[in-house]
Amino acid sequence: MNGGGGAMGQEIGSDTFTADDFARFSQQLELETQHARETFADGRFSNEAWVAGFELEAWLVDEHFFPVPRNVAFLEQLGNPLVVEELSRFNIEINGTEQHLSGTALSQLENELVSTWRQCMGVARDQGASLIAIGTLPTVRERDLSLASMSPRKRYAALNREILKLRCGRPVTLEISGIDRLSTTHDDIMLEAATTSFQVHLQMPASEAVRTHNAAQILAAPLVAVAANSPFLFEHALWHETRIPLFEQAVDCCDPAHLEQRRVTFGSDYLSADPTEYFAENLSLYPVLLPYDECKPVDRYAHLSMHNGTIWRWNRMLIGFDKNKLPHLRVEQRILPAGPSIIDMVANAALYYGLVRVFAGQTVAPESRLAFATARDNFYLCARYGLEAQVVWLDGRHWRVADLLLHELLPLAGEGLAGFGLPAADIERYLDVLEGRLRSGQNGAVWQLAHHAKYRDYQRLTADYLELQRQFIPVHEWPI
C-alpha cells in the first residue's frame, strides 16, 4: 500500500539529528497537521470506494528452526518489489497489491500471496533456510534479538537510538503474566522483531473514516481472539496473542508516569466527527523521534507520515495518495498475527472487512453503545485468553467471545461482504474456514499449546507447524 507507513518502512537520508532538525521537523509537522484538518473540512480527501491491502511479516529459520539473519542475501536473490526487509535480518515483509473491494478481490489477494509465498519458499530453500509465518517464533532466543541482527538501514539505527534516548538510559523491561510469567530486560528495541503480524489495510471514503476507525476499535477484541497465534515467547506460555503485550513494552519510551504516551497502544478514545483529530493527538501527545526533513510540499504530508509511523496504535489511521495524487484515508489494522496458513489469514481479513462494513453503516453508531474503556478491556482480555475470553458486547451482555463470533458476528460478516459485491462462493469459502475454527475451538494458539502439552518440544512444535503450513490447509484441520 502506498504512502503513510512511516518509520519502520521508510528509509531516511541521515541517522544523526541536531536540535535544529527537531525544531524544523516539529514546525513542518504542525503545518501538515493543520493542512490535513483543513483538507478534510473542505472535502478534499478522496471519497472513492473501498480498497483492501495487506502486509505479512515472516521469519527466516535454519535447519534447527532458529532464526537465521539472512534477509539481505534472500531479498537480493528474490528480486521481488513486493517483498522488503524488516527490522531484523531474519524477518521479511510481503506486500499485497491493493484491490478494490468488489468482485473477486479477496481471492485475488489470496492467490497473489500464495504465488509470492511459493517464490519466497523456493529462494529460502536455495539458501538452506525455511520461511515461516507465525506470530511469535517458539524457538526464538533472547540472544537472537540483538543489534547484530538489525537490518542495515539508517532508520532502524536512528529509531533505536532515539527511543533509548527518551528512556534516559532505562533498559527495556518486559513483564508478561499469562499462563506462565516472564520477566526480563533488554538494552535495545530488538524485542520488537519477535512480533510478526498480518497487517490489513482498508481505504475507505473519507466521509466513512471516523465510523470505520471506531468500528475497527470495537472489533479488535473478537478479531484478536479468533486469530490468536502467539502463545510462546522464550519458552514461556504467556497470552494467546503474546505479541500484544510484547510489542507494547518492546518500544515503550514514555515516562512511567505518563502511560497515555505509550507509542504502542489501543488508543485514548473513539474519533468524533473529524478523522484528522487522530493526527492532532499525535502532534500533541508524542515527541518527535525521527526528525528527518523530507523537503516536500505541505500537501504531501511527509513529516506527518514519518511521525505517524513512529506511533503504533493497534488500529492506525494513515494518509496515502491515489494515482491522481489525491489524498485518501485508510485504517491499518495491526492486531492480527502472521499465520497459521494463508487461507486462515485471508479469512481473518474477510471477517474484518465484512464486519467493519456492517458496523460502520449501522443507523445507531456502535460506539454510542459500547464505552471505549469497555472496548479496550475486551481487546486485552481476548489477547490474553483467546477464544475463551469473556467480553461485554453492544447488548450489555457478557459473552464467551467464541459464541459471540459464531452466532452473532459471522452472519453479519457475510452481510457486509455481500454488501461489497463479493461473490457468494468467495464469501462462503472464507466464512466456512472461520466457522470450522470456531466449532472446533482450534486456532493457531490453541493448536500450539496443545502440541506443546503433548510433546514438550519447541523444535518439534515449530517443525510440525511449518510442515502443516506448507500444505496450505486451515488450522482447524491440523492434527496434533
pLDDT tens for 173-219 read 999 999 999 999 999 999 999 999 999 999 999 999 999 999 999 99
> Residues 6 or more apart from 66 whose CB is under 8 A from it?
139, 140, 141, 144
| Cβ pair 236, 332 in contact under 8 A | no
**Element (DSSP H or E) covering residue 181:** strand 181-186
- Residue that the C-alpha cell 462462503 belongs to: 428
Is residue 260 predicted with pLDDT exceeding 80? no
pLDDT band at 1 (very low <50, low <70, confident <90, very high): very low
Q: What is the CATH number of domain 19-471?
A: 3.30.590.20
For 426-466, what is each residue's pLDDT tens digit?
A: 999 999 999 999 999 999 999 999 999 999 999 999 999 99
**pLDDT of res. 14:** 58
pLDDT band at 163 (very low <50, low <70, confident <90, very high): confident
Burial class of residue 236 in the structure, from the number of CB atoms within 10 Å of its CB (0-12 exposed, 13-18 middle, 19+ buried):
middle
Domain limits, the chain: 19-471
pLDDT band at 292 (very low <50, low <70, confident <90, very high): confident
Pairing of strands 398-400, 99-100: unpaired
pLDDT band at 6 (very low <50, low <70, confident <90, very high): very low
pLDDT band at 167 (very low <50, low <70, confident <90, very high): confident
- Residue that the C-alpha cell 493542512 belongs to: 35
**pLDDT of res. 419:** 97
What are the Cα distances from residue 319, in Å, to 33, 39, 115, 368, 376?
11, 12, 29, 26, 24
| Cβ pair 382, 392 in contact under 8 A | no
- Residue that the C-alpha cell 521508510 belongs to: 10
| Cβ pair 66, 144 in contact under 8 A | yes
**Positive/negative CA dihedral, 99, 425, 402, 469:** negative
pLDDT band at 2 (very low <50, low <70, confident <90, very high): very low
User: Residue 320 forms beta bridges with which residues?
Assistant: 328
User: What is the DSSP secondary structure assignment for residue 406, as one 8-state letter?
Assistant: I
| Cβ pair 338, 348 in contact under 8 A | no
Q: Choose between 106 and 11: higher pLDDT.
A: 106
**pLDDT of res. 408:** 98
Give the residue from 295, 431, 315, 437 showing the smallest Cα distance to 372: 315
What are the Cα distances from residue 111, in Å, to 105, 134, 135, 210, 424?
10, 20, 22, 31, 18
For 347-394, what is each residue's pLDDT tens digit?
A: 999 999 999 999 999 999 999 999 999 999 999 999 999 999 999 999
What is the Cα gyration radius of the chain?
A: 21
In whole angstroms, what is the distance from residue 270 CA to residue 278 CA? 9
Q: Say what percent of the chain tops pLDDT 70.
A: 95
What are the Cα distances from residue 197, in Å, to 216, 224, 241, 404, 409?
16, 11, 11, 24, 23
Q: Where are the alpha helices (DSSP H) in 83-191?
A: 105-126, 154-166
Strands annotated E in 380-478: 390-392, 398-400
For 328-337, what is each residue's pLDDT tens digit?
A: 999 999 999 9
Q: Is 64 helix (H, G, I), strand (E, B) or coil?
A: coil
**pLDDT of res. 171:** 87
pLDDT band at 155 (very low <50, low <70, confident <90, very high): confident
**pLDDT of res. 4:** 41
In whole angstroms, what is the distance from residue 142 CA to residue 160 CA? 17
For 180-192, what is each residue's pLDDT tens digit?
A: 999 999 999 999 9
> Residues 6 or more apart from 269 whose CB is under 8 A from it?
372
For 55-71, what is each residue's pLDDT tens digit?
A: 999 999 999 999 999 99
Neighbours of 368 (CB within 10 A): 11
Q: What values do phi and psi take at 4, rounded to 5?
A: 85, -10
